Amino acid sequence: MAKRILLVENEKNLARFVSLELQKESFIVDVAETGQEGLKLTKETDYDLLLLNDDLQDMTASDFAERLSVFKPASVIIVLVSREELAERLEAIQHFAVSYMVKPFIISDLVERVSVIFRGRDFIDQHCSLLKIPTSYRNLRVDLKNHTVYRGEEVIALTRREYDLLVTLMGSNKVMSREQLLERVWKYEGATETNVVDVYIRYLRGKIDVAGQPSYIKTVRGVGYAMQE
């Protein structure tokens, strides 16, 4: 089945070129010029991936992702960000996006990035299905079909990367090294940052842990991470 992509981009020429190139690769592409229009489309349609301009006319990509998380948690997002704004916005982007592209970029590079991310997402989903990942841990519950995580009855709004990291840890009955997590969770996207796993563990703990209670994730010094008994 063809993958469906939403491109939210107010630069009309760029949106047209990107859309055409993605369609040549048999992706189905919808285009929105504003964040509000994009949010409306995400309520009406299930998209496999979202391409967001970081600086829309009516909101930033971070604003968009925050509103989207209310009704479509764990969405797969790539942000298109200008080189001038990257340093200022990178940390915020890493909280919700699986990847980003710096403008100006070569469109074929973007198409390739989209393709490898889809291969990575398919790998994680198939891996979860084949290994029969546990759907509960302490009072955490995972809906594998809808990529949604609950703590008790509360929905925990995780990004897709955080979700992938959590289910990978839940699916292992041993401590996983940083290298193993990079291979499983970032498999097709060539993550090279030495601290990327630690950064995302911190993000994940910040969302699933409860103040005053033991963390769900245990740090094994010098080795890696595991779910906490």
The stretch 126-139 carries a mean pLDDT of 63
**4-119 and 132-227: identical CATH topology:** no
CB neighbours of 60 closer than 8 A, spacing ≥ 6? Answer: 54, 89
Which tops the pLDDT comparison, 64 or 117?
Answer: 64
The identity of residue 101, as a single letter, is M
> pLDDT at position 188, please?
47
| Residue range 154-198, pLDDT digits in tens | 888 888 888 889 988 988 878 999 888 888 787 645 454 568 889
The helix (run of H) or strand (run of E) holding residue 79 is: strand 77-82
Q: Is the pLDDT of residue 226 over 70?
A: yes
| Residue range 42-94, pLDDT digits in tens | 999 989 899 999 989 899 999 999 899 888 877 889 999 998 888 888 888 88
CB neighbours of 153 closer than 8 A, spacing ≥ 6? Answer: none
CB neighbours of 113 closer than 8 A, spacing ≥ 6? Answer: 78, 99, 101, 189
The pTM for the full model equals 0.67
CB neighbours of 103 closer than 8 A, spacing ≥ 6? Answer: 80, 81, 82, 83
Contact 131, 172 (CB under 8 A): no
User: What is the tally of helices (H) and strands (E) in the chain?
Assistant: 8, 12
CATH architecture of 4-119: 3-Layer(aba) Sandwich (3.40)
> pLDDT at position 131, please?
46
Burial-class residue 79 by CB neighbours within 10 Å (0-12, 13-18, 19+). buried
Q: Does CATH number 1.10.10.10 belong to domain 132-227?
A: yes
| Residue range 191-217, pLDDT digits in tens | 545 688 898 899 999 999 999 899 999
For the chain, the structural domain boundaries read: 4-119, 132-227
As a 3-state breakdown, the chain gives helix, strand, coil percent values, each rounded to 5, of 45, 20, 35
Which tops the pLDDT comparison, 115 or 225?
Answer: 225
Contact 98, 76 (CB under 8 A): yes
